[in-house]
Structure 1
Amino acid sequence: MIRKNKRKVIVALDFKNQGPADERKQGTLKIFFGYAAGVGKTYAMLKAAHRASEQGQDVVVGYIERHTRPDTLALLDGLEQLPNKTVNYKGIQLKEFDLDAALKRHPQIMLVDELAHSNAAGCRHTKRYQDVEELLRAGINVYTTINVQHLESLNDLVASITQVAVSERIPDSVFDSADQVELVDIEPDDLIIRLQSGKVYRKDQANRALDHFFSKENLAALREIALRRTADRLSRNAQKEGNERAAKAGEHILVCLSASPSNAKVVRTAARMAEAFHSGFTALFVETSETKELKGESLKRLRDNMRLAEQLGAQITTVYGDEPAVQIAEYARVSGITKIVVGRTNHNTVAGVRDRTLSDKLANLANDIDIYIIPDSQPLYKKKFSLFRKDEEEKFRWVDLLKTLLIISGATLIGFGFYSLGLREANIITVYILGVLLTAVCTHGHLCGVIASLCSVVLFNYFFTVPRFSLVAADPDYPVTFFIMLIASIMSCTLASRVRKQARQSSQRAYYMELLMNSSQKMQQGRDEQETIELAAEQVSKLLNRPILYALAGKGGDLSFQATPKTKAGELLGSMTAEEQGVADWVAKNNKHAGAGTNTLSHAQNLYLAIRGSQEVMGVIGIPARFYPPLEAFEKNVMVSLLNECGMTLERRRLRAEKQAVEMETQRERLRSNLLRAISHDLRTPLTSISGNATILMEKSISLKEEERQEMYNAIYDDSMWLVNLTENLLSITRIENGTMQLQIEAELLDEVFQEALAHVDRQSKQHDISVNLSDDLLMAKMDVRLIVQVIINIVNNAIKYTPVGSHIRLSAEKQDDMVRISISDDGQGISGEAKKHLFDMFYTAGIGKPDNRRGLGLGLGLCKSIIDAHGGTIGVEDNIPQGSVFYFTLPLEEVSLQYE
């Protein structure tokens, strides 16, 4: 109930037509599925809408593609239609589905034609299927239409049959998650007749279509694909409903991602295989030094392929290494992969030399895993070859050249030393190889290592071979020595560079893992929700090396963004316009990602991600994208993992707080129950006594002596005062429990406070010796005098009740640093150690002292503790030497300043 009330007041500022986001049941999706345009999908959808309307359901036409089909348009009569939204795109007025108007109208059933349609720029979502998903989340049932060529995983297959590439596509997950799919099917011959008669397109368009896409062979093939896809969906749903294990439950398919033009086809093929085998699906990207160089069209293709794999349901994973085959095989081995899908290499090599392909290497490294090679229909392209790659690692640096010269000079000096000692030339060669290794470790890239290798050979020849100080080699064995020395130097340099690069990659992975582990520990240590999300934002900022916006959600108000680091707060918060705030509110409401780099509200400057718990959105994080590079796949995976951990931590904290609130409410209810039970039992005795004595006194026929009458008056007074004190305690307890007790703190003289309290203590105080002893008559303390008087009365009355007649009760006060210690001592029989532990608990009575017809409820001392705690003091009890007990409590001291005139 608490969460529901919180969520009801979250409003997306940018979308005024939307109502508050309350908890509605998820809407159902019905898809009218066909194999080509003109089979009658829209017609069947409108007929179904009329049937639903006749059954009393609220049906509204949100958008219908108005083709020149009279039979279809005639079915619009009698159905309510929403006006289209007009979007100005490059001077052209486009008609689009009005999502905000549909949400405001909120019918039972909404008709939205052409599910795969791409919305014009300026609409909230890039694709219409995202509009439909938002309708479903709002609790609206949707009827829609789609053709088989618009399914993402079948796009390449359809294109290979029809030779037509379809640009408007939807993820297969949208189709598979539909509650109902109705296949609208007619014979290809009948569809051709409809085309020829002008019922689908105009005559000129129909003739062109029949010559290309709508040939009989194409239509038959598309129809077969549509029938199989529908049958596969039914089979899978039957298995889910029957809770049966899939026949290939142990299968796990791995697809390799790359920037190749044909990689999209490989990904779609792997997705279809995963669908057919009902298996796990992972997309692996191996980041090498070459992939870091990607830019322009290649980089765009790589990101598009990653996004495609994610849409098709793959789990994106990134590994590092310069040997893709080794990395893929190792990942497949440790992850339980059973099938690997790769594309065929389709590029020319240098000088016509054929290198071993990735599939060949995988076949040797992973010989127990099935490898599927997808042919590439793309034209051959030339792969650029460069001895030295133009990445950051290989950039020429003068400092590296200086290091190389110093190291080689040092090796030469050592060589002169060895030569003067008469050592063999092999030792000098070893020194030069060691210098090459040291150069490879101390410099960047391969260039300096190669230079060091060449210089080592030349210097060894010039200084240490006969004839010396000449590049001529007299011994015929020297050229072989030089060649082996050069090869050994270059190989040593290459291996050292590779080890250094792998160490750097390992340190990077270790940094990410350490960041994740530290983030988890830090978020667990957060004192509250705000500190937890702040710690998570700081970790994301470290990961991405950019400032981060963050805000908590679910508190019943607008998102209040903050920024980290604090130095960037002014700049980031200043960019949070009403439009940006609206995007963030939409993310919090719909539990989706939106903003820059997504297909929803992509015009935003920032990327907004929901911090998700298992039940609701716990917060929103904003990542600036305008002046920063796009997120890498591995960075995104680490960030999502970190945000998921943050969401779970926040949810656990919120659920724990709710549990504590429930427990506190239960405790209060138990307290009320105990209080009522105790009152109902213990009030009976004094009330019976009062009413009985009063009845006797009012009865004129009964003659009473004056002493008996006075005794009855005293009994009535004692019982009445007991009830007054009990009522005062109950009222104070009620105020404390409800949190309505407000202290009115003032400085008071303790002497006056003691006198006021003693004036209202039990009448039996005359039977005891009560005295006041103050170390300073002007001693003052800060207090709510009304409540402190009640504390003193309760403690003194307890002393009167539980000590014998004639005992001494002493009130005293003294300064202790910046506090005043007030003590109330007696010389009664004392209190046991066990009773001291529970003496200030509610409803606890020690069961000691003289017998009394009125049993205490155990409220007085518990109330005293609550009052003293509210004043910031302490209360306790200790033994009085030699006999009795001392109750003490402390209050803040008020210094008295005396002025003399």
Structure 2
Amino acid sequence: MARGQLRIYLGAAPGVGKTFAMLEEAQRRAGRGTDLVIGFVETHGRPHTADMLDDLEIMPRKEMSYRGARFTEMDVDAILNRNPQVAVVDELAHTNVPGSRNEKRWQDIQELLEAGITVLSTVNIQHLESLNDVVEQITGVVQRETVPDSVVRGADQVELVDMTPEALRRRMVHGNVYPPEKVDAALGNYFRVGNLTALRELALLWLADKVDEQLDRYREEHGIGATWEARERVVVALTGGREGATLIRRAARIAARSKGADLLAVHVARSDGLVDADPTLLGRQRLLVESLGGTYHQVVGADVSRALLDFARGVNATQLVLGGSRRGRIAQLFSAGVGVTTTAQSGPIDVHLVTHEEIGRGRRRWRAGGAALSRSRRIAGFLVALIWLPALTAILVPFTDNLSLASDMMLFLLGVVVVALVGGRWPAITSAVVGFLLLNYFFTPPLHKFTVNETENLLALAVFVVVAVAVSAVVDTAATRTREAAGASADAQTLATVAGSVLRGARPLEALLRQLREMFGLESVTLLERAPGAVDVPDRRRDPAAWRVAAVDGTPPSHSPAEGTGDVPIGDDLALVLRGTTLEASDRRILEAFAAQAAIALRQERLTEQAAEALPLAEADRMRTALLAAVSHDLRTPLASAKAAVTSLRSDEVEFSPDDRDELLATADESLDKLSRLVANLLDMSRLQAGALGVVPASLGLEEAVPRALDELGNVARPVVLRMPDDLPLVRADPGLLERILVNVIGNAIRFSPDGKPPKITGSEHAGQVALRVIDHGPGIPTEARDRVFQPFQRLGDHTNHEGVGLGLALSRGLAEAMGGSLVPETTPGGGLTMVLTLPSDEVGVEPTETRATELADQAIRERLRRWPRDSQLTSRLGSASPPDLPADEPARLDVGPVPEPVHPSRLPKPDPSEPEPGQSESDEDDTR
């Protein structure tokens, strides 16, 4: 029986329409006469989704009992017995009730597929196992229901159901995803614009990878080796020479001409694993490639052209960048070279041959070190040759009549091999020559003469010399390659260790110097910098006055390059000086790598120090400029009004009536109050910045603090809607500071809310934090103002507001943070701004039977009603009962007074998308928590 096909509808978040799209496909197939059943579909109470189930056969669910509760799950056996052509099964990552046929629903689907049934299913990107930790980092929610990536990647078809974050949030506001009581919490937590944008990007990238896999698999199955230019991919070939940086930059410019093009750098290493390129240059070129947004690759191959083209075709490259040949003209006569050969065999891949300064200079092969064997081993080889060959001659001379010349030559050849193993090439060649002479003199007729009578014996002696030299060369080459491989491995490990220490260290320059000193057992390592004005010093290398110590590790430091046992110049202005053990020439490459990194680390530290020094100056200058502007306008205006009123009252030229006198006194009093508020804000902001603001936290309820703030605001024509849950816990905050925050935030919302759309105040609690949301439908927030609105003395453009020094929001956020909370803005769906004040909860003192919030709310409402005019209307949802004399079904309205120091609330920044939000469940229905 043929296996059924699996089609998955992939979404970035709940509510994008996966189930709806799946049911649309089910309706189309059923309309074409396909035998189709609904195995399991969860509508979550969405009417449009439920309407799509009309006219479709729905399989009955299997009822199960678990821990005294009843649940329903998909009946796999019933579907298998029914044996339809297509089964629709929602929520691929669902975990079945314990005791079910399988632990996971995707395992149920596998059974249906094995039975030859085609399955339509859905899954969200956050449920993929490989992305579980990424989603947790973005949203702050651990997804307990996951599905292996292999299940989704193995699907025959994966269709992305996409929707922009703004469109999804509008759909939620219209009630198409969640019930109205869950919308506010969902929009403020999991369904923030930043979260949805990040999840959408994850879904798009994951699907793009799957599409690439499908394309590669198709090309492989159909034997397609030609390049398909689905996307521009530029490959640059690196040899490890100095021209690599030029090639990389040229390839990056080629890739930049095509939007979305990939840049790949590749180095073809020798198939024997040995290094014939300078690893230091390759390391620098790798960093350059990555800094330009490309990737670095290394492949192994004996034929460079073939290996290069195999890699280019494997990544579906469209363009290949090569450097001009470095070989001389004579060498090019005998071989076409890599560039010409690659161009001839490239096929549809465009090849760019780039000129550079190294053309025609010959290929400089890099060597890991000096001689293959140490000096002591070479001396030992010579000693063995001088002792072994005469001793062997003395042993064989008495047996000249019994042994043939061939036997004597084999024994001498054995001696040459032993010498080659001990001392390498030159001792072995020396022993071969000496052995040739001894064989000729003592064992080849005529004896005791350096002549040979027979041509056969002469040929045998010549073969002996050739074999001995060849064996010695092979032994020496093997030793050389062994040493190069060991050196390359040690260098790679060293550089990896250095990179790790630099990345982990708070001060990378000190970490570099310390690592270098410890690695080679040096007394000290000093980084010297050219002193100012030392350009014309005659002997700069030896004159300490020409240098100054930039950094040092160990003692004593070196004050000039000549004082050390070794130094590495870094350009014209820096030098790395070593004191202690004299290092070998083979260690020069590692020292150069250390020196280059030290120069970069020094520059980074200098830039960091300069930035740190400039930041307070820039901030102070900005504050001073803003303060002068505020004093020149905002402080002068009320002062001038008060001065004019007092001057008029003191004047003898005008006789004021009692009403006029009272009006002038009221003007002076109002102006002085405004001036007092401005000065108080300035003082509080200065205390906040100095860390000297006194905070006295106490346990209090927001339902108690909000009425006080509204009472402080006074009376205005716009109402306020209050929606506070009954079980909202107490918060830990300073009552006075909290009231100042609420006055600023609520006052802004009232002032900039349009007629007919009053601001709304709601509360919620999660994970020990209580969030108070002040929601308005004002003009919105411009993108360019998000970072500036919480800065002191920032009063953004607004035609209706010209008062205040721009401290209200900056002070409010500072006060919230001083109490351990936060004040962040969010965009209100449909336009406007939502300010979210978050404070730590304090559960101590909450009565378990009847919440203290209800009592405080009713008490506050009755107190307010006694003081307000009878025509003021207020309906509170803080308690279960309505206040006296107010109908329960009347809209929640609260008339409040004029707002001091208005600050446009629509100019608030959006929250950081990477900031985690508290909990949310895996199912579509519970993503509001």
Give TM class, smaller chain. Answer: 0.3 to 0.5
> Structure 1-normalised TM-score?
0.36
> Structure 2-normalised TM-score?
0.35
Higher relative contact order (CA 8 A, sep 6+): 2
